[in-house]
Chains A and B, each alone.
Chain A
Amino acid sequence: MTNLDPTLREALNRIYPAPERESDWEDVLARTGRKLGPEVRARRSIAFRRARILALAAVAIGATSLTVLLWPAGTPLTERALAALGDARVLHVITHRPAPSERLVEIASGRIVIPTQEAEIWFDEKGQRARIVTRVDGGVREELLQTRQGWFTRGGLVYTCAWIASHPAEATKAGVSCNENMQNSTSPRSEPELPPTVDASLTAFARGYQNALESGEAQPLGEGSIDGQRVEWLEFRGADGSSQRVALDRGTLRPLRVETSRPNQQGSVARYDIALIETVPSSKADFSLPPRRTPQQSIGKIADEQSIDLARAADVLGQAPLWLGPQTNGLHLSRIEAQRLVTGYGPGADLPSSSTHGIELVYGNISGGPHIRLREATRCELAYAWPCSMPAPREGYLRIDNLPGSGGALVRDGLYVRIVSSLGEKSIINAARALRPAP
Protein backbone atom coordinates (compact mmCIF):
# COMPACT_ATOMS: atom_id res chain seq x y z
CA MET A 1 0.00 0.00 0.00
CA THR A 2 1.33 3.44 -0.87
CA ASN A 3 2.44 5.17 2.28
CA LEU A 4 1.20 8.58 3.20
CA ASP A 5 3.83 11.12 2.28
CA PRO A 6 4.35 13.61 5.16
CA THR A 7 5.49 16.41 2.84
CA LEU A 8 2.49 15.95 0.62
CA ARG A 9 0.22 15.71 3.64
CA GLU A 10 1.60 18.98 4.93
CA ALA A 11 1.08 20.68 1.58
CA LEU A 12 -2.47 19.32 1.33
CA ASN A 13 -3.23 20.51 4.85
CA ARG A 14 -2.07 24.01 3.97
CA ILE A 15 -4.02 24.14 0.74
CA TYR A 16 -7.15 22.45 2.07
CA PRO A 17 -7.33 23.41 5.76
CA ALA A 18 -9.66 21.32 7.91
CA PRO A 19 -13.13 22.88 7.78
CA GLU A 20 -14.71 24.04 11.00
CA ARG A 21 -18.36 23.81 10.07
CA GLU A 22 -20.66 21.89 12.45
CA SER A 23 -22.71 18.93 11.33
CA ASP A 24 -26.48 19.38 11.04
CA TRP A 25 -28.49 16.16 10.89
CA GLU A 26 -31.81 17.97 11.07
CA ASP A 27 -30.94 19.75 7.84
CA VAL A 28 -30.24 16.37 6.22
CA LEU A 29 -33.66 15.17 7.32
CA ALA A 30 -35.30 18.32 6.06
CA ARG A 31 -33.62 17.87 2.67
CA THR A 32 -35.10 14.39 2.30
CA GLY A 33 -38.51 16.02 1.93
CA ARG A 34 -37.41 18.31 -0.87
CA LYS A 35 -35.98 15.46 -2.90
CA LEU A 36 -39.00 13.23 -3.06
CA GLY A 37 -40.94 13.09 -6.26
CA PRO A 38 -44.52 11.76 -6.24
CA GLU A 39 -43.50 8.32 -7.47
CA VAL A 40 -40.90 7.98 -4.73
CA ARG A 41 -43.23 9.32 -2.09
CA ALA A 42 -45.53 6.41 -2.68
CA ARG A 43 -42.74 4.00 -1.84
CA ARG A 44 -41.55 5.56 1.38
CA SER A 45 -39.89 3.06 3.62
CA ILE A 46 -40.57 2.75 7.31
CA ALA A 47 -37.12 4.14 7.87
CA PHE A 48 -37.87 7.17 5.79
CA ARG A 49 -41.17 7.77 7.54
CA ARG A 50 -39.33 7.73 10.82
CA ALA A 51 -36.77 10.14 9.48
CA ARG A 52 -39.53 12.54 8.49
CA ILE A 53 -41.20 12.15 11.85
CA LEU A 54 -37.88 13.06 13.45
CA ALA A 55 -37.65 16.15 11.32
CA LEU A 56 -41.12 17.18 12.38
CA ALA A 57 -40.30 16.39 15.97
CA ALA A 58 -37.22 18.58 15.83
CA VAL A 59 -39.43 21.47 14.83
CA ALA A 60 -42.12 20.50 17.32
CA ILE A 61 -39.72 20.43 20.24
CA GLY A 62 -38.45 23.86 19.24
CA ALA A 63 -41.99 25.19 19.32
CA THR A 64 -44.00 23.13 21.74
CA SER A 65 -47.12 25.18 21.31
CA LEU A 66 -47.25 24.12 17.67
CA THR A 67 -46.79 20.44 18.39
CA VAL A 68 -50.38 19.46 17.92
CA LEU A 69 -50.58 21.32 14.63
CA LEU A 70 -47.44 19.72 13.26
CA TRP A 71 -48.39 16.12 13.89
CA PRO A 72 -50.57 14.60 11.23
CA ALA A 73 -53.95 13.68 12.67
CA GLY A 74 -54.13 10.13 13.96
CA THR A 75 -50.39 9.67 14.46
CA PRO A 76 -50.21 7.11 17.27
CA LEU A 77 -48.87 8.19 20.63
CA THR A 78 -46.10 5.61 20.49
CA GLU A 79 -44.89 6.89 17.14
CA ARG A 80 -44.82 10.44 18.39
CA ALA A 81 -43.03 9.35 21.56
CA LEU A 82 -40.48 7.50 19.46
CA ALA A 83 -39.91 10.55 17.32
CA ALA A 84 -39.45 12.66 20.44
CA LEU A 85 -36.80 10.22 21.59
CA GLY A 86 -34.95 10.09 18.27
CA ASP A 87 -33.30 7.01 16.86
CA ALA A 88 -29.60 7.69 17.16
CA ARG A 89 -27.45 4.90 18.41
CA VAL A 90 -26.81 5.90 22.01
CA LEU A 91 -29.48 6.43 24.63
CA HIS A 92 -28.60 9.21 27.04
CA VAL A 93 -30.66 9.38 30.21
CA ILE A 94 -30.38 11.41 33.39
CA THR A 95 -32.55 10.21 36.25
CA HIS A 96 -33.17 11.67 39.66
CA ARG A 97 -34.35 9.93 42.78
CA PRO A 98 -33.91 10.44 46.51
CA ALA A 99 -30.56 9.06 47.70
CA PRO A 100 -31.51 5.78 49.35
CA SER A 101 -29.20 5.85 52.35
CA GLU A 102 -28.37 9.41 53.16
CA ARG A 103 -29.85 12.34 54.94
CA LEU A 104 -28.57 15.84 55.25
CA VAL A 105 -29.62 18.23 57.97
CA GLU A 106 -29.52 21.95 57.46
CA ILE A 107 -27.77 22.80 60.69
CA ALA A 108 -29.27 26.24 61.21
CA SER A 109 -32.92 25.15 60.79
CA GLY A 110 -32.77 21.44 61.59
CA ARG A 111 -34.56 20.77 58.32
CA ILE A 112 -33.99 17.29 56.97
CA VAL A 113 -32.94 17.20 53.33
CA ILE A 114 -32.88 13.98 51.36
CA PRO A 115 -30.16 14.51 48.77
CA THR A 116 -30.93 13.81 45.16
CA GLN A 117 -29.15 10.90 43.62
CA GLU A 118 -28.55 11.46 39.96
CA ALA A 119 -27.65 8.74 37.50
CA GLU A 120 -26.38 9.78 34.10
CA ILE A 121 -26.40 6.90 31.68
CA TRP A 122 -24.98 6.49 28.21
CA PHE A 123 -26.26 3.22 26.83
CA ASP A 124 -25.14 1.75 23.51
CA GLU A 125 -26.78 -1.62 23.24
CA LYS A 126 -25.41 -2.33 19.78
CA GLY A 127 -21.86 -1.55 20.86
CA GLN A 128 -22.45 -3.36 24.16
CA ARG A 129 -21.19 -0.54 26.26
CA ALA A 130 -22.57 1.69 28.94
CA ARG A 131 -21.27 4.46 31.14
CA ILE A 132 -23.00 5.36 34.36
CA VAL A 133 -22.09 8.31 36.54
CA THR A 134 -23.74 8.47 39.93
CA ARG A 135 -23.87 11.79 41.70
CA VAL A 136 -25.30 12.68 45.07
CA ASP A 137 -26.00 16.29 45.83
CA GLY A 138 -23.98 17.22 42.76
CA GLY A 139 -20.81 15.35 43.81
CA VAL A 140 -19.66 12.33 41.79
CA ARG A 141 -19.90 9.17 43.87
CA GLU A 142 -19.01 6.61 41.28
CA GLU A 143 -18.38 6.17 37.61
CA LEU A 144 -18.65 2.87 35.83
CA LEU A 145 -17.71 2.11 32.24
CA GLN A 146 -18.85 -1.25 30.93
CA THR A 147 -17.39 -2.48 27.67
CA ARG A 148 -16.74 -5.76 25.95
CA GLN A 149 -13.11 -5.35 27.01
CA GLY A 150 -13.92 -5.02 30.69
CA TRP A 151 -15.54 -2.88 33.34
CA PHE A 152 -13.82 0.10 34.87
CA THR A 153 -14.53 2.40 37.79
CA ARG A 154 -12.62 5.28 39.35
CA GLY A 155 -10.89 2.62 41.40
CA GLY A 156 -9.64 0.93 38.22
CA LEU A 157 -10.49 -2.37 36.61
CA VAL A 158 -13.44 -4.37 37.91
CA TYR A 159 -12.60 -8.04 38.12
CA THR A 160 -15.36 -9.65 36.08
CA CYS A 161 -15.45 -13.35 35.26
CA ALA A 162 -14.82 -12.54 31.60
CA TRP A 163 -11.71 -10.55 32.49
CA ILE A 164 -10.49 -13.26 34.86
CA ALA A 165 -10.98 -15.91 32.18
CA SER A 166 -8.89 -13.96 29.70
CA HIS A 167 -6.25 -12.88 32.24
CA PRO A 168 -5.79 -15.95 34.50
CA ALA A 169 -2.22 -15.15 35.56
CA GLU A 170 -3.03 -11.55 36.53
CA ALA A 171 -6.19 -12.73 38.29
CA THR A 172 -4.26 -15.29 40.33
CA LYS A 173 -1.76 -12.59 41.27
CA ALA A 174 -4.59 -10.32 42.35
CA GLY A 175 -6.17 -13.17 44.31
CA VAL A 176 -9.47 -13.20 42.44
CA SER A 177 -11.31 -16.08 40.84
CA CYS A 178 -14.78 -17.02 39.68
CA ASN A 179 -14.29 -20.61 40.77
CA GLU A 180 -15.28 -21.90 44.17
CA ASN A 181 -11.82 -23.37 44.72
CA MET A 182 -10.30 -19.96 43.88
CA GLN A 183 -8.13 -21.57 41.22
CA ASN A 184 -7.82 -19.98 37.81
CA SER A 185 -6.93 -21.81 34.65
CA THR A 186 -3.39 -21.47 33.42
CA SER A 187 -4.20 -20.44 29.88
CA PRO A 188 -6.38 -17.53 28.83
CA ARG A 189 -9.76 -18.26 27.36
CA SER A 190 -12.40 -16.06 25.86
CA GLU A 191 -15.64 -15.59 27.74
CA PRO A 192 -18.24 -13.02 26.77
CA GLU A 193 -18.36 -10.02 29.02
CA LEU A 194 -21.62 -9.47 30.85
CA PRO A 195 -23.97 -7.21 28.96
CA PRO A 196 -23.92 -3.67 30.28
CA THR A 197 -26.24 -3.15 33.18
CA VAL A 198 -27.34 -0.13 35.04
CA ASP A 199 -29.54 -0.28 38.09
CA ALA A 200 -31.71 -3.32 37.33
CA SER A 201 -34.87 -1.23 36.99
CA LEU A 202 -33.17 1.37 34.87
CA THR A 203 -31.60 -1.28 32.68
CA ALA A 204 -34.98 -2.70 31.86
CA PHE A 205 -36.21 0.77 31.01
CA ALA A 206 -33.13 1.83 29.03
CA ARG A 207 -33.18 -1.34 27.01
CA GLY A 208 -36.86 -1.69 26.58
CA TYR A 209 -38.34 1.73 26.03
CA GLN A 210 -37.05 2.42 22.54
CA ASN A 211 -37.71 -1.16 21.42
CA ALA A 212 -41.21 -1.16 22.89
CA LEU A 213 -42.06 2.02 20.99
CA GLU A 214 -40.61 0.71 17.75
CA SER A 215 -42.31 -2.65 17.97
CA GLY A 216 -45.62 -1.22 19.10
CA GLU A 217 -45.53 -3.24 22.32
CA ALA A 218 -45.86 -0.09 24.41
CA GLN A 219 -49.50 0.36 25.32
CA PRO A 220 -51.08 3.75 26.05
CA LEU A 221 -52.79 3.75 29.45
CA GLY A 222 -54.42 7.15 29.18
CA GLU A 223 -53.98 10.54 30.74
CA GLY A 224 -52.86 11.34 34.23
CA SER A 225 -50.97 13.98 36.14
CA ILE A 226 -47.71 14.23 38.00
CA ASP A 227 -47.22 17.09 40.42
CA GLY A 228 -50.02 18.95 38.63
CA GLN A 229 -48.54 18.36 35.18
CA ARG A 230 -50.69 16.54 32.65
CA VAL A 231 -49.09 13.41 31.30
CA GLU A 232 -49.80 10.47 29.04
CA TRP A 233 -49.03 7.06 30.53
CA LEU A 234 -47.52 4.24 28.54
CA GLU A 235 -46.78 0.75 29.73
CA PHE A 236 -44.50 -1.98 28.44
CA ARG A 237 -42.99 -5.12 29.78
CA GLY A 238 -39.24 -5.14 30.32
CA ALA A 239 -37.14 -8.05 29.15
CA ASP A 240 -36.72 -9.02 32.80
CA GLY A 241 -40.48 -9.34 33.22
CA SER A 242 -40.85 -6.03 35.02
CA SER A 243 -43.73 -3.73 34.37
CA GLN A 244 -42.53 -0.36 33.12
CA ARG A 245 -44.97 2.53 33.38
CA VAL A 246 -43.76 5.70 31.71
CA ALA A 247 -45.32 9.12 32.12
CA LEU A 248 -44.85 11.34 29.07
CA ASP A 249 -45.02 15.09 29.04
CA ARG A 250 -48.06 15.89 26.90
CA GLY A 251 -46.26 18.65 25.05
CA THR A 252 -42.90 17.14 24.24
CA LEU A 253 -43.86 13.46 24.65
CA ARG A 254 -40.62 12.88 26.48
CA PRO A 255 -40.66 10.65 29.55
CA LEU A 256 -40.91 12.50 32.84
CA ARG A 257 -41.12 9.56 35.19
CA VAL A 258 -40.61 5.83 35.12
CA GLU A 259 -42.20 3.46 37.59
CA THR A 260 -41.00 -0.09 37.54
CA SER A 261 -42.35 -3.05 39.45
CA ARG A 262 -41.78 -6.75 39.36
CA PRO A 263 -44.40 -9.45 39.71
CA ASN A 264 -42.52 -11.15 42.56
CA GLN A 265 -42.11 -7.91 44.50
CA GLN A 266 -45.69 -6.89 45.03
CA GLY A 267 -46.14 -3.33 46.10
CA SER A 268 -42.50 -2.46 45.55
CA VAL A 269 -42.25 0.25 42.92
CA ALA A 270 -39.02 1.96 41.95
CA ARG A 271 -39.60 5.52 40.76
CA TYR A 272 -37.22 7.64 38.74
CA ASP A 273 -37.75 11.15 37.55
CA ILE A 274 -36.33 11.58 34.07
CA ALA A 275 -34.45 14.86 33.91
CA LEU A 276 -33.21 14.19 30.38
CA ILE A 277 -33.70 11.50 27.78
CA GLU A 278 -32.45 11.61 24.24
CA THR A 279 -30.64 9.55 21.69
CA VAL A 280 -27.37 10.82 20.30
CA PRO A 281 -24.85 9.59 17.73
CA SER A 282 -21.92 7.78 19.25
CA SER A 283 -19.64 10.71 18.45
CA LYS A 284 -21.59 12.83 20.93
CA ALA A 285 -21.72 10.19 23.67
CA ASP A 286 -19.32 9.93 26.58
CA PHE A 287 -17.75 6.50 26.90
CA SER A 288 -14.52 7.77 28.37
CA LEU A 289 -12.59 5.83 30.96
CA PRO A 290 -13.45 7.01 34.48
CA PRO A 291 -10.64 9.18 35.85
CA ARG A 292 -8.60 7.40 38.50
CA ARG A 293 -9.26 8.74 41.93
CA THR A 294 -6.52 9.12 44.47
CA PRO A 295 -5.66 5.74 45.99
CA GLN A 296 -8.51 4.47 48.07
CA GLN A 297 -7.96 4.12 51.78
CA SER A 298 -8.21 0.51 52.84
CA ILE A 299 -7.34 0.71 56.54
CA GLY A 300 -7.69 3.55 59.01
CA LYS A 301 -6.76 3.16 62.63
CA ILE A 302 -5.91 5.15 65.73
CA ALA A 303 -2.33 4.04 66.30
CA ASP A 304 -1.81 5.78 69.65
CA GLU A 305 -3.27 8.56 71.72
CA GLN A 306 -2.33 10.86 74.55
CA SER A 307 -4.18 13.30 76.76
CA ILE A 308 -3.60 16.95 75.98
CA ASP A 309 -5.13 20.30 76.84
CA LEU A 310 -7.03 22.70 74.55
CA ALA A 311 -3.97 24.81 73.75
CA ARG A 312 -2.07 21.74 72.62
CA ALA A 313 -5.10 20.61 70.55
CA ALA A 314 -4.69 23.77 68.47
CA ASP A 315 -1.04 22.88 67.89
CA VAL A 316 -1.99 19.37 66.75
CA LEU A 317 -4.52 20.61 64.21
CA GLY A 318 -2.69 23.76 63.25
CA GLN A 319 -5.81 25.76 64.05
CA ALA A 320 -8.29 26.17 66.87
CA PRO A 321 -10.38 23.03 67.40
CA LEU A 322 -14.16 23.22 67.43
CA TRP A 323 -15.82 22.53 70.75
CA LEU A 324 -19.12 22.73 72.60
CA GLY A 325 -17.83 24.81 75.48
CA PRO A 326 -16.75 23.41 78.83
CA GLN A 327 -20.01 21.49 79.04
CA THR A 328 -23.03 20.55 76.93
CA ASN A 329 -26.31 18.82 77.76
CA GLY A 330 -25.08 18.60 81.32
CA LEU A 331 -22.02 16.68 80.17
CA HIS A 332 -18.63 18.07 81.08
CA LEU A 333 -15.65 18.05 78.78
CA SER A 334 -13.89 15.11 80.37
CA ARG A 335 -11.03 14.38 78.04
CA ILE A 336 -9.05 15.78 75.12
CA GLU A 337 -6.75 13.46 73.21
CA ALA A 338 -4.26 13.81 70.41
CA GLN A 339 -4.53 10.73 68.24
CA ARG A 340 -2.08 9.47 65.67
CA LEU A 341 -4.07 8.26 62.69
CA VAL A 342 -2.62 5.74 60.29
CA THR A 343 -4.06 5.16 56.85
CA GLY A 344 -3.20 2.18 54.65
CA TYR A 345 -3.95 2.04 50.93
CA GLY A 346 -4.06 -1.63 50.12
CA PRO A 347 -1.66 -3.80 48.13
CA GLY A 348 -2.72 -2.55 44.67
CA ALA A 349 -2.13 1.14 45.43
CA ASP A 350 1.64 0.78 45.76
CA LEU A 351 1.67 3.46 48.42
CA PRO A 352 3.13 3.34 51.92
CA SER A 353 0.87 3.98 54.90
CA SER A 354 0.50 7.61 55.88
CA SER A 355 0.23 9.07 59.32
CA THR A 356 -1.35 12.29 60.60
CA HIS A 357 -2.86 13.54 63.84
CA GLY A 358 -6.40 14.27 64.87
CA ILE A 359 -8.00 15.16 68.16
CA GLU A 360 -10.92 13.82 70.14
CA LEU A 361 -12.98 15.77 72.65
CA VAL A 362 -15.13 13.68 74.98
CA TYR A 363 -18.07 15.10 76.88
CA GLY A 364 -19.42 12.81 79.60
CA ASN A 365 -18.40 9.26 80.27
CA ILE A 366 -17.66 6.93 77.36
CA SER A 367 -17.44 3.93 79.66
CA GLY A 368 -21.13 3.16 79.65
CA GLY A 369 -22.44 6.62 80.57
CA PRO A 370 -24.06 9.30 78.39
CA HIS A 371 -21.56 10.98 76.20
CA ILE A 372 -20.87 13.06 73.07
CA ARG A 373 -17.61 12.69 71.21
CA LEU A 374 -16.11 15.08 68.67
CA ARG A 375 -13.40 13.79 66.39
CA GLU A 376 -11.60 16.38 64.29
CA ALA A 377 -8.96 16.21 61.58
CA THR A 378 -7.84 18.43 58.75
CA ARG A 379 -8.69 15.84 56.08
CA CYS A 380 -10.97 12.87 55.53
CA GLU A 381 -9.73 10.12 57.84
CA LEU A 382 -10.89 6.53 57.61
CA ALA A 383 -10.00 6.14 61.29
CA TYR A 384 -12.82 8.62 61.94
CA ALA A 385 -15.17 6.68 59.62
CA TRP A 386 -14.70 9.23 56.88
CA PRO A 387 -13.55 7.61 53.60
CA CYS A 388 -12.24 10.16 51.10
CA SER A 389 -14.40 8.58 48.40
CA MET A 390 -17.40 10.12 50.16
CA PRO A 391 -17.65 13.81 49.33
CA ALA A 392 -18.00 16.14 52.28
CA PRO A 393 -21.40 17.70 52.89
CA ARG A 394 -21.71 21.31 51.95
CA GLU A 395 -20.78 23.80 54.68
CA GLY A 396 -23.82 24.44 56.86
CA TYR A 397 -25.08 20.85 56.48
CA LEU A 398 -24.64 17.79 58.62
CA ARG A 399 -24.69 14.36 57.04
CA ILE A 400 -26.38 11.71 59.11
CA ASP A 401 -24.98 8.35 58.16
CA ASN A 402 -27.24 5.38 58.41
CA LEU A 403 -24.54 3.17 59.86
CA PRO A 404 -25.19 2.44 63.54
CA GLY A 405 -22.97 4.45 65.87
CA SER A 406 -21.43 6.52 63.10
CA GLY A 407 -23.31 9.68 64.08
CA GLY A 408 -23.01 12.73 61.86
CA ALA A 409 -20.31 14.31 59.78
CA LEU A 410 -19.71 17.89 58.76
CA VAL A 411 -17.00 20.20 57.53
CA ARG A 412 -16.50 23.56 59.13
CA ASP A 413 -13.59 26.00 59.06
CA GLY A 414 -11.64 23.40 57.09
CA LEU A 415 -12.01 20.76 59.80
CA TYR A 416 -13.59 17.37 59.14
CA VAL A 417 -15.69 16.75 62.21
CA ARG A 418 -17.50 13.60 63.24
CA ILE A 419 -20.02 13.79 66.06
CA VAL A 420 -21.03 10.62 67.86
CA SER A 421 -23.59 10.71 70.63
CA SER A 422 -25.21 8.21 72.95
CA LEU A 423 -28.17 10.63 73.34
CA GLY A 424 -29.71 10.22 69.90
CA GLU A 425 -29.88 12.04 66.63
CA LYS A 426 -31.31 15.27 68.01
CA SER A 427 -28.29 15.72 70.28
CA ILE A 428 -26.02 15.31 67.26
CA ILE A 429 -27.88 18.06 65.40
CA ASN A 430 -27.81 20.30 68.47
CA ALA A 431 -24.10 19.66 68.87
CA ALA A 432 -23.48 20.53 65.21
CA ARG A 433 -25.32 23.82 65.77
CA ALA A 434 -23.42 24.58 68.98
CA LEU A 435 -19.96 23.96 67.59
CA ARG A 436 -17.62 26.93 67.84
CA PRO A 437 -13.89 27.54 67.84
CA ALA A 438 -12.28 26.87 71.18
CA PRO A 439 -10.65 29.92 72.76
Chain B
Amino acid sequence: MGVGTVAALEALYGDRYSEFLRVASAIAGDEGRGADAVQDAFARALISLRAFRGDAPLEAWVWRIVVNAARSVRSKEQRASAEMPVPASSDNYNPDESEVRRRIASLPDRQRTAIFLRYFADLDYRTIAVVLGVEVGTVSATLSAAHDALRRNLEEVQR
Protein backbone atom coordinates (compact mmCIF):
# COMPACT_ATOMS: atom_id res chain seq x y z
CA MET B 1 0.00 0.00 0.00
CA GLY B 2 1.44 3.28 -1.08
CA VAL B 3 2.08 6.48 0.67
CA GLY B 4 -0.92 7.95 -1.12
CA THR B 5 -3.22 5.81 0.96
CA VAL B 6 -1.75 7.10 4.19
CA ALA B 7 -2.42 10.59 2.90
CA ALA B 8 -5.93 9.56 1.88
CA LEU B 9 -6.52 8.14 5.33
CA GLU B 10 -5.32 11.31 6.99
CA ALA B 11 -7.44 13.40 4.64
CA LEU B 12 -10.48 11.27 5.44
CA TYR B 13 -9.77 11.68 9.14
CA GLY B 14 -9.50 15.44 8.75
CA ASP B 15 -12.52 15.76 6.49
CA ARG B 16 -14.94 13.52 8.38
CA TYR B 17 -13.67 13.50 11.94
CA SER B 18 -16.79 15.06 13.42
CA GLU B 19 -19.04 12.46 11.73
CA PHE B 20 -16.81 9.58 12.82
CA LEU B 21 -16.82 10.95 16.34
CA ARG B 22 -20.56 11.47 16.43
CA VAL B 23 -21.40 7.98 15.23
CA ALA B 24 -18.79 6.35 17.46
CA SER B 25 -20.00 8.36 20.47
CA ALA B 26 -23.60 7.35 19.81
CA ILE B 27 -22.64 3.70 19.59
CA ALA B 28 -20.17 3.72 22.48
CA GLY B 29 -22.42 5.70 24.80
CA ASP B 30 -20.52 8.93 25.32
CA GLU B 31 -18.13 11.28 23.60
CA GLY B 32 -15.04 10.27 25.54
CA ARG B 33 -15.40 6.59 24.68
CA GLY B 34 -16.39 7.50 21.13
CA ALA B 35 -13.29 9.64 20.67
CA ASP B 36 -11.14 6.83 22.01
CA ALA B 37 -12.76 4.41 19.57
CA VAL B 38 -12.14 6.72 16.60
CA GLN B 39 -8.49 7.21 17.50
CA ASP B 40 -7.96 3.49 17.95
CA ALA B 41 -9.83 2.69 14.77
CA PHE B 42 -7.67 5.00 12.65
CA ALA B 43 -4.51 3.67 14.26
CA ARG B 44 -5.72 0.18 13.41
CA ALA B 45 -6.54 1.29 9.86
CA LEU B 46 -3.05 2.73 9.46
CA ILE B 47 -1.45 -0.49 10.59
CA SER B 48 -3.78 -2.61 8.44
CA LEU B 49 -3.49 -0.53 5.31
CA ARG B 50 -1.87 -3.39 3.48
CA ALA B 51 -4.96 -5.45 4.13
CA PHE B 52 -7.11 -2.91 2.35
CA ARG B 53 -7.74 -4.51 -1.01
CA GLY B 54 -9.55 -1.62 -2.62
CA ASP B 55 -12.64 -3.69 -3.48
CA ALA B 56 -14.74 -1.20 -1.48
CA PRO B 57 -14.19 2.51 -1.04
CA LEU B 58 -11.58 3.40 1.57
CA GLU B 59 -14.17 5.39 3.50
CA ALA B 60 -16.50 2.40 3.83
CA TRP B 61 -13.61 0.25 4.99
CA VAL B 62 -12.66 2.82 7.63
CA TRP B 63 -16.25 3.24 8.76
CA ARG B 64 -16.41 -0.47 9.37
CA ILE B 65 -13.32 -0.33 11.56
CA VAL B 66 -14.68 2.67 13.47
CA VAL B 67 -18.06 1.05 14.05
CA ASN B 68 -16.41 -2.16 15.24
CA ALA B 69 -14.12 -0.22 17.57
CA ALA B 70 -17.08 1.67 19.03
CA ARG B 71 -19.07 -1.54 19.45
CA SER B 72 -16.11 -3.11 21.14
CA VAL B 73 -15.91 -0.23 23.62
CA ARG B 74 -19.61 -0.53 24.26
CA SER B 75 -19.38 -4.30 24.80
CA LYS B 76 -16.67 -3.83 27.39
CA GLU B 77 -18.83 -1.24 29.15
CA GLN B 78 -21.84 -3.52 29.02
CA ARG B 79 -19.85 -6.34 30.52
CA ALA B 80 -18.78 -4.01 33.27
CA SER B 81 -22.20 -2.48 34.00
CA ALA B 82 -24.48 -5.18 32.59
CA GLU B 83 -26.65 -2.67 30.79
CA MET B 84 -26.78 -0.72 27.58
CA PRO B 85 -25.23 2.72 28.03
CA VAL B 86 -27.78 5.46 27.47
CA PRO B 87 -26.29 8.78 26.44
CA ALA B 88 -26.67 11.61 28.87
CA SER B 89 -28.65 14.54 27.54
CA SER B 90 -27.01 17.93 27.45
CA ASP B 91 -30.39 19.53 28.14
CA ASN B 92 -32.52 19.45 31.21
CA TYR B 93 -34.21 16.18 31.97
CA ASN B 94 -37.17 15.56 29.71
CA PRO B 95 -39.26 12.44 30.45
CA ASP B 96 -40.52 12.20 26.84
CA GLU B 97 -37.03 12.43 25.42
CA SER B 98 -35.88 9.92 27.93
CA GLU B 99 -38.43 7.51 26.49
CA VAL B 100 -37.13 8.10 22.95
CA ARG B 101 -33.62 7.54 24.21
CA ARG B 102 -34.63 4.27 25.80
CA ARG B 103 -36.38 3.24 22.59
CA ILE B 104 -33.25 3.93 20.54
CA ALA B 105 -31.17 2.00 23.05
CA SER B 106 -33.54 -0.93 22.81
CA LEU B 107 -33.37 -1.16 19.01
CA PRO B 108 -31.50 -4.16 17.66
CA ASP B 109 -27.86 -3.31 17.25
CA ARG B 110 -27.91 -3.34 13.45
CA GLN B 111 -30.92 -1.03 13.28
CA ARG B 112 -29.43 1.41 15.74
CA THR B 113 -26.09 1.50 13.93
CA ALA B 114 -27.79 1.92 10.56
CA ILE B 115 -29.77 4.88 11.90
CA PHE B 116 -26.61 6.53 13.23
CA LEU B 117 -24.75 6.00 9.96
CA ARG B 118 -27.62 7.36 7.93
CA TYR B 119 -28.50 10.37 10.09
CA PHE B 120 -25.14 11.40 11.49
CA ALA B 121 -22.83 10.49 8.62
CA ASP B 122 -25.20 10.79 5.65
CA LEU B 123 -23.91 7.51 4.29
CA ASP B 124 -25.70 5.99 1.33
CA TYR B 125 -27.13 2.48 1.43
CA ARG B 126 -24.25 0.94 -0.47
CA THR B 127 -21.71 2.26 2.05
CA ILE B 128 -23.86 1.29 5.03
CA ALA B 129 -24.13 -2.21 3.53
CA VAL B 130 -20.31 -2.48 3.42
CA VAL B 131 -20.01 -1.19 6.98
CA LEU B 132 -22.61 -3.60 8.35
CA GLY B 133 -21.51 -6.47 6.14
CA VAL B 134 -24.97 -7.00 4.66
CA GLU B 135 -26.67 -6.69 1.28
CA VAL B 136 -27.97 -3.29 0.16
CA GLY B 137 -31.54 -4.58 0.32
CA THR B 138 -31.04 -5.55 3.93
CA VAL B 139 -30.01 -1.99 4.74
CA SER B 140 -33.25 -0.72 3.31
CA ALA B 141 -35.30 -3.18 5.36
CA THR B 142 -33.25 -2.48 8.49
CA LEU B 143 -33.69 1.27 8.25
CA SER B 144 -37.34 0.93 7.45
CA ALA B 145 -37.91 -1.20 10.55
CA ALA B 146 -35.93 1.22 12.71
CA HIS B 147 -37.89 4.16 11.35
CA ASP B 148 -41.19 2.45 12.05
CA ALA B 149 -40.23 1.64 15.60
CA LEU B 150 -38.95 5.12 16.35
CA ARG B 151 -41.75 6.95 14.56
CA ARG B 152 -44.32 5.04 16.57
CA ASN B 153 -42.55 6.09 19.68
CA LEU B 154 -42.24 9.72 18.60
CA GLU B 155 -45.93 9.86 17.76
CA GLU B 156 -46.77 8.49 21.19
CA VAL B 157 -44.51 11.01 22.83
CA GLN B 158 -45.93 13.91 20.84
CA ARG B 159 -49.55 12.93 21.43
Contact = CB atoms under 8 A, between A and B. Distances in A.
B49 A47 contact: yes
Contacts, number: 135
Interface string B30-52: 01001100011011101101100
Nearest to B34: A19
Nearest to B98: A15
Interface in A253-299: 280-284
B80 interface: no
Interface of B is mostly: helix
A88 B7 contact: yes
A1 interface: yes
Contact of A45 (B22, B40, B49, B101): B49
B144 A281 contact: no
Contacts of A87: 3, 6-7, 10
B125 to A, nearest CB: 6
Contacts of A50: 3, 6
Contact of B46 (A9, A29, A214): A29
B154 A8 contact: yes
Given A21-B31, A214-B3, A45 B150 contact: no
B6 to A, nearest CB: 5
Contacts of A17: 90
B56 interface: no
Contact of B147 (A5, A36, A283): A5
Nearest to B103: A11
B150 A8 contact: yes
A48 B10 contact: no
Given A8-B154, A89-B11, A35 B97 contact: no
B17 A23 contact: yes
A270 B73 CA distance: 56
25 contacts: A1-B124, A2-B143, A2-B144, A2-B147, A4-B118, A7-B158, A11-B154, A15-B101, A16-B22, A16-B116, A19-B18, A21-B21, A23-B13, A25-B10, A25-B13, A28-B43, A28-B46, A29-B46, A45-B49, A47-B6, A48-B47, A87-B7, A88-B7, A89-B8, A282-B15
Interface of A: 1-2, 4-5, 7-9, 11-12, 14-19, 21, 23-25, 27-29, 31-32, 34-36, 40, 43, 45-48, 50-51, 87-89, 126, 214, 280-284
Given A16-B116, A18-B22, A25-B14, 5 more contacts: A7-B151, A19-B35, A21-B21, A47-B6, A50-B3
Interface of B: 1-8, 10-11, 13-15, 17-18, 21-22, 25-26, 31, 34-35, 39-40, 42-44, 46-47, 49-50, 87, 89-91, 97, 100-101, 104, 115-116, 118-120, 124-125, 140, 143-144, 147, 150-151, 154, 158
